[in-house]
Amino acid sequence: MKPNRSIPAATVIPVLSYPDVRAAVAWLTDAFGFVERVRIGEDHRAQLSVGEGAVIVADTGGNRRPPEPAVITHSVTVRVTDVHAQRDRAAARGAVIIMEPTDLPFGERQCTVQDPWAHQWTFSQTIADVAPEEWGGVTITP
């Protein structure tokens, strides 16, 4: 792929709608440690970096809506080096803890939090290299 400074370099970029882009960016940078890299208009969109990944915070309007608190249409998984620290940071800033840090059979320690706008985020820390076949998965490509 050709590089372009106007779009994140990540291959997959979630675009999440929030009713107040600036408030969402402030919260996500403070609570999750994301870094704002591009601002598009005062309250239209913002591109955030997280490790080698990215997320776009978009305004609502037209057919774009934020999620409803009781309805899960998606979640975003972010790999981190310390799930407990990420959980504590998010909780201290008002995130609702959906799942406390839990060691899972596929070699990940994960926790899930909900931000103030009802987006769910799963933070995942690798604790072991486990073949998918060891927990019931199937490797399709080597």
* 86 within 8 A of 115, measured Cβ to Cβ: no
Q: Which domain holds residue 38?
A: 15-131
Phi, psi of 27 (to 5 degrees): -70, -45
Structure tokens at 29: 């940078």
Alpha carbons 106 and 24: distance in angstroms, whole number: 32
Indicate whether 111 belongs to any domain.
Answer: yes
Please report the pLDDT score of residue 5 as a whole number: 86
Indicate whether 88 belongs to any domain.
Answer: yes
DSSP conformation class of 132: G
Indicate whether 62 belongs to any domain.
Answer: yes
Indicate whether 7 belongs to any domain.
Answer: no
Indicate whether 93 belongs to any domain.
Answer: yes
Phi, psi of 5 (to 5 degrees): -65, -10
Ranges of the chain whose pLDDT falls below 70? 142
Domain count, the chain: 1
Start-to-end CA distance of the chain, whole Å, equals 23
Please report the pLDDT score of residue 66 as a whole number: 85
Please report the pLDDT score of residue 80 as a whole number: 94
